[in-house]
Amino acid sequence: MDARPQIGQFVKVLRGKDEESYAVIIGIIDDKFVLIADGNKRRFDSPKKKNVLHLELQPAISQEVTNSLQDSGRVTNAKLRYVIQKFAYAKGE
């Protein structure tokens, strides 16, 4: 698994008020920072800038999110909520 974050990758937030929640990377700023959204508190239009060190990169990447971003440059909040819910359920959480 590539240690660098990728668009569409699931992350677990380790620091901050969203601690212990899951989100999806929707943008990469540089080596240190990414933009994450969960479609709920963090909408696609106002993603959270997070230090990669404060995230636990999950081995899964959502093709739905990746494809959506490649096709239209955006992804719906409903889709983000859906893929995160599915991912968390698959992990048994």
SS3 15: coil
The pLDDT tens digits along the chain (93 residues) read 457 999 999 999 999 999 999 999 999 999 999 999 999 999 999 999 999 999 999 999 999 999 999 999 999 999 999 999 999 999 887
The answer to whether residue 3 is domain-embedded is no
Domain count, the chain: 1
- In-domain check, residue 45: yes
DSSP strand pairing (48-51 vs 22-28): unpaired
Contacts (Cβ under 8 Å, ≥6 apart) of 1: 57, 59
What's the pTM? 0.94
Residue-range definition of the domain harbouring residue 52: 9-90
| 79 belongs to a structural domain | yes
**Does 43 map to a domain?**
yes
Tell me whether residue 4 is in a domain: no
Q: What is the CATH number of the domain that holds 77?
A: 2.30.30.30
On whether residue 15 sits in a domain, the answer given is: yes
